[in-house]
Structure 1
Amino acid sequence: MSAVTPDRAGLDADLDAARDAVARASASLVDLEGHPGYGLLQPGGFTGISARRREETLATVAELHRDLALYRRAVDAAVQARGTRTRPSADELTATQEALHGESVTVAEEAVPLQRRGLLGPTSQVTRTSADALLARMTAAFDAVSRVAADVASVWDAVAAQLGPVERALDALRAEATGLPGDAADVAALAARLETLRAEVLTDPLAHTGSAAPVPAAALAALGADVDRAREEVREARALRSGLDERVADLTARIDGLAALESAAADVAAQVARLVVAVPGLPVPARRAPALRSAVRDAHALARDGRWDAASTAFAGVAQDVDAARERAEADRAVLGGLLDRRAELRGRLGALRAKAGARGRGEDLALDTLHTRAQDLLWTAPCDLAAATVAVRAYQRGLEEGT
């Protein structure tokens, strides 16, 4: 029984499709090797699953090139077998069919070991496949490697998107710190932390496939906060350098005001000590202004030495200490002054009660006069016992009211 002659029109269509497949596959391989994700695979340095997948992917791409060359040769052989005649012979059509769809492609040839071949057996073993099967294998391999390239690029893009804001802030910090001493901001240490976060993901990007935020959020937030803090410190250092004299003058003026307030508190304390009997727990006004003046001089010296970060911190500390000392001096003065105010208030009340007694015709009341004398003696004696004087004034007031 004779073999069936292949259909010419169908075979010509298959041949056109095969030639088109060669062109498209060649273009796709060029696109693959120009893909950013594939480019990231080339240098190596991967760990974990990415290291294994990289080796597999590069080997597969090499196989794709080899298979494409085999497929191109098979198509060329089919074109040659087809010839250029409008009506090829049955033999030509059969040869074309065999080259294009038969197992005519040698994909491997291995030597057969002596112990596995007979006396007349073949010395090599050839593995063949068809151009169609080869194209199907290339299609599956291309899909696999393109997914790996896309996954690597996707993780790389996700890392870039996450680190972008901090990276830009770090660039801005680097620019702002230009011209300042090294202690103004440790840009190198912050940059090293950024690169560590990047490397922790990008050394094994395929372990993070599918994650929109592969960089740990907490570590990234901490780094961002430190960069922002460093930028503020740099800005303070720049502001300090440009306005150093004004800063010193401002703090000096504030300390002058504190010194005056502390002197006033000390004067009130001296009056209280002279005029009022000591009360347990009374504040003792301190003189903090001299130490703060010395602190300003020390901070100024740091600035003159170019240690702007340390100077900025020192000036800020002095400013806080001045505010705290002022609050303490005001509070001490208020507490101590309250005792003198209380003495004056009791004196005023006693005088008002005395006038009221006279208006009621009790100016000659001996018992009431005795109570008045007791209160008056306490209030006009230095130092004054405010507790006893308060009791005496209340007793005089009760005597006046009871006798009404």
Structure 2
Amino acid sequence: MAVAGPTGPVLSREEVDRALARLGAEHEAVESSLLALQDHAGRRLLEGAELDGATRDRWAVAEQLINRLWTYFDAYTDALTAARELRARRRWPTQAELGELTDLLTGARVTLPGGTPSATAASPVPTARLSEQLSLAELVDRMNGWYAQALDVVVIADAVWSALPARIDLLAAELRRTLSLAHSVGVRPGEHPAGDDLEDITRELAALRAAVVADPVAFWTGASPSSGPGGGRPDTERYDRAARALEDVRREIEAVLTVRQDAEQRLMRVRDVLSRADRTLTEARQARVEVLSKIAASEVPAVSGPPTVLYEQLSAAAEHRRRARWHRLSPLLEGLEQRAEEELARARESLTAVTAPLAVRAELRGRLDAYRAKAARHGLAEDPVLGERYDAARRKLWSAPCDLLAAEQAVLRYQHAMAEALAPPAGGTGSFGQGVIDRRGDS
């Protein structure tokens, strides 16, 4: 270590003591940090791992930095020890000793090897300067920078390895349970989309774990740890995507398991719905024959035959259940239930459409009878005009085939005649009964 002359004002005894105390505290802090880095679990894992990618490159530099840090620390220790020994010679140092202490504590008196650690070489890249001289303050600043750089790699690797491999292993265990359930219900690759998805997830988890173990730095997002608390975190995007895919498959497998448990009841319900739809269509066909024979000049929609396609699908579903092909039964049964309900609704709509003319005739008959009862309450049961129009409307409504348009006109004529009969005479002040007597007398 070369000795240089003073480069500034000579420190006083008190200033020397304060500088030695500060440098001593810094020395202890640096030593503690280096020892902590030496014992860090992440560093030990990095030393024994087969690394790749960015982690391999950054760890190659970090290893050089750690070795260089100990070299610098030893030089720092030697310089501090020399300053302490010089200060300990006497209680009141001479001016020459204060000058030498000032030079040791503030001057560029620490000689160190030159060169900068590199990721592309096994050893530091040689520079034109084989050595350099630094002050203790400069030495500490450089050590702090290198320490932060080396610690970033160690902390990132440790954080990623602590967060991801264990979670991947747990997800892989869940994947194995899901695969076992899938095989029990016939969900296999090439036979069911969920089986293909499980195969893809298996490959992805294996590749993800290998990548995380070999290159943890690639799975870090955000700022470096040395930038401050909460500066970054492990990147779990690929893991999260695989977990979501497995959850989707697991729900689908559970749906298939549910089908296995209640398949018979669901098949019975589908048979019942289709049977009701068939009976409704049969009733609609019979009603259509009746309408065509009893209602004239009416357009009656045709009625389709029984849902043979759905019955064929029902038979296929029963065969899947018998042969325990649950992965095929699940989508078929779900669609069959929906189509069976739609078929029943269509059959009911067909029956309603076919019987609409009969409903119209029944409504006209009820209206005619209601008007006749009203006429009787007002003493018009024997009115010849009303009687004639009632008989005409009744003949049209009770004849076969019935002309609904003509029958409706006849009912309206009867309604109008009754309204005229019930109305008081023009300009009269008598009651409804008196008006009826007057109209009869005039006739």
TM-score by length of 2: 0.63
Counterpart of 1:134 (choices 139, 142, 145) is: 139
**Does residue 29 of the first structure (1) align with residue 48 of the second (2)?**
no
Q: Distance in 2 between matches of 1:79 and 1:126?
A: 21
Contact kept in structure 2, 1:107 and 1:127, CA below 8 Å: yes
Q: Give, in angstroms, the shift of residue 284 of structure 1.
A: 3.2
1:105 aligns to what SS in structure 2?
Answer: strand
Contact kept in structure 2, 1:255 and 1:322, CA below 8 Å: yes
Give the equivalent residue in structure 2 for 1:188.
199
Of the structure 1 ranges 208-217 and 254-263, higher mean CA displacement relative to structure 2 is found in: 208-217
RMSD (Å), alpha carbons = 5.5
Counterpart of 2:77 (choices 63, 75, 78) is: 75
Q: Give, in angstroms, the shift of residue 289 of structure 1.
A: 3.6
Q: Distance in 2 between matches of 1:294 and 1:375?
A: 51
Q: Distance in 2 between matches of 1:35 and 1:208?
A: 21
Give the equivalent residue in structure 1 for 2:365.
347
Q: Any unmatched runs of 5+ in structure 2?
A: 117-127, 224-230, 423-443
Residue 139 of structure 1 aligns with an amino acid whose one-letter code is: N
Residue 59 of structure 1 aligns with an amino acid whose one-letter code is: V
Q: Give, in angstroms, the shift of residue 388 of structure 1.
A: 1.7
**Does residue 383 of the first structure (1) align with residue 416 of the second (2)?**
no
Residue 182 of structure 2 aligns with an amino acid whose one-letter code is: A
Task: For 1:285-300, list aligned pairs within 5 A.
Answer: 285-300=303-318
Q: Give, in angstroms, the shift of residue 68 of structure 1.
A: 1.4
Aligned residues: 380
Give the equivalent residue in structure 2 for 1:118.
none
Going from structure 1 to structure 2, the CA distance change for 1:349 and 1:236 (only over 3 Å counts) comes to same
Q: Any unmatched runs of 5+ in structure 1?
A: 111-122
Going from structure 1 to structure 2, the CA distance change for 1:125 and 1:301 (only over 3 Å counts) comes to same
Contact kept in structure 1, 2:389 and 2:410, CA below 8 Å: yes
Task: For 1:111-130, list aligned pairs within 5 A.
Answer: 125-130=130-135
Q: Give, in angstroms, the shift of residue 320 of structure 1.
A: 0.7
Q: Give, in angstroms, the shift of residue 109 of structure 1.
A: 8.2
Give the equivalent residue in structure 1 for 2:425.
none
Q: Distance in 2 between matches of 1:268 and 1:255?
A: 20
Give the equivalent residue in structure 2 for 1:326.
344
Q: Give, in angstroms, the shift of residue 158 of structure 1.
A: 9.3
Counterpart of 1:106 (choices 90, 112, 125) is: 112
Give the equivalent residue in structure 1 for 2:258.
239
Give the equivalent residue in structure 1 for 2:295.
276
Residue 187 of structure 1 aligns with an amino acid whose one-letter code is: L
Give the equivalent residue in structure 2 for 1:120.
none
Residue 361 of structure 2 aligns with an amino acid whose one-letter code is: R
Going from structure 1 to structure 2, the CA distance change for 1:362 and 1:253 (only over 3 Å counts) comes to closer
Going from structure 1 to structure 2, the CA distance change for 1:94 and 1:330 (only over 3 Å counts) comes to same
Q: Distance in 1 between matches of 2:183 and 2:176?
A: 11
**Does residue 261 of the first structure (1) align with residue 280 of the second (2)?**
yes
Contact kept in structure 2, 1:368 and 1:396, CA below 8 Å: yes
Q: Give, in angstroms, the shift of residue 391 of structure 1.
A: 1.0
Of the structure 1 ranges 8-17 and 235-244, higher mean CA displacement relative to structure 2 is found in: 8-17
Q: Distance in 1 between matches of 2:348 and 2:168?
A: 50
Q: Distance in 2 between matches of 1:13 and 1:151?
A: 34
1:67 aligns to what SS in structure 2?
Answer: helix
Cα offsets for 1:323-349 (capped at 9, x unmatched): 111112222223333432332332344
2:53 aligns to what SS in structure 1?
Answer: coil
Q: Distance in 2 between matches of 1:346 and 1:229?
A: 60
Q: Give, in angstroms, the shift of residue 233 of structure 1.
A: 2.6
Of the structure 1 ranges 271-280 and 70-79, higher mean CA displacement relative to structure 2 is found in: 70-79
1:34 aligns to what SS in structure 2?
Answer: helix
Residue 28 of structure 1 aligns with an amino acid whose one-letter code is: A
Q: Distance in 1 between matches of 2:373 and 2:144?
A: 116
Q: Give, in angstroms, the shift of residue 362 of structure 1.
A: 6.1
2:132 aligns to what SS in structure 1?
Answer: strand
Counterpart of 1:177 (choices 182, 201, 224) is: 182
Going from structure 1 to structure 2, the CA distance change for 1:165 and 1:362 (only over 3 Å counts) comes to farther
Q: Give, in angstroms, the shift of residue 292 of structure 1.
A: 1.8
Of the structure 1 ranges 314-323 and 94-103, higher mean CA displacement relative to structure 2 is found in: 94-103
Give the equivalent residue in structure 2 for 1:251.
270
Going from structure 1 to structure 2, the CA distance change for 1:339 and 1:55 (only over 3 Å counts) comes to same
Q: Give, in angstroms, the shift of residue 392 of structure 1.
A: 0.9
1:243 aligns to what SS in structure 2?
Answer: helix
